[in-house]
Homo-oligomer: A and B are copies of this chain.
Amino acid sequence: MEYYSGKINQLIEELAHLPGIGAKSAQRLAFYLLNQPEENVKRLADVIVDAREHIRYCRECYTLTDREVCPICSNENRDHRTIMVVENTRDLAAYEKTGKYEGVYHVLHGAISPMLGIGPGDIRLKELMTRLQQDVGEVIIATNSSLEGETTAMYISKLIKPTGIKVSRIASGVPVGGDLECIDEVTLLRALEGRVEL
């Protein structure tokens, strides 16, 4: 790329490493940044480095946070006897946005995937089992509705059942507002199996 000079090429290459950023987007981002006031660009760089430096896992639920115990786990108004198991911090955020869930979470940071060689030891399962030695009433498994998510859910439920703690799985079915026509067959069958009496 002789048409851009050294530092611009370097910037484009670095940006193109980011997920979901192709060669074109990297160029657009690069020139956007080069046209910004220097202090804005410095602030962005500082925020990136600062967040990365201070990031850690919550001691309780293993979500990514900048504190020893995350805001949810340190909130005494939450129901600490109900633990929702999610694959990652973004899934946690998705449930938090509903504003209706009052329990706490456990973030696995992944799902079991024999295909990718990710076993039970590679996600935060041991940590979950340790938490269950405290007073827990219910574990709600909210891993994704994918092959990996389902495998993980089954694995966890088998692990927990012997402890006598209640284990549940979030329902799968037709999304609210979803047009039946546009929904895949597996989901349609799931929705049928999971039908509830009115």
Contact = CB atoms under 8 A, between A and B. Distances in A.
A92 interface: yes
A97 B19 contact: no
Contact of A28 (B20, B49, B66): B20
A161 to B, nearest CB: 29
A191 interface: no
A48 B44 contact: yes
Interface residues of A, number: 56
Contacts of A6: 66
A64 B8 contact: yes
Contacts of A46: 45
- Interface of A, secondary structure class, is helix
B71 A3 contact: yes
Contacts of A67: 5
A88 interface: yes
Given A2-B96, A5-B66, A34 B11 contact: no
A52 B41 contact: yes
Contacts of A52: 33-34, 36, 38, 41-42
A7 B55 contact: yes
A84 to B, nearest CB: 12
Interface of A: 1-8, 10-11, 14-15, 17-20, 25, 27-34, 36, 38, 41-55, 64-67, 70-72, 88-90, 92-93, 96-97
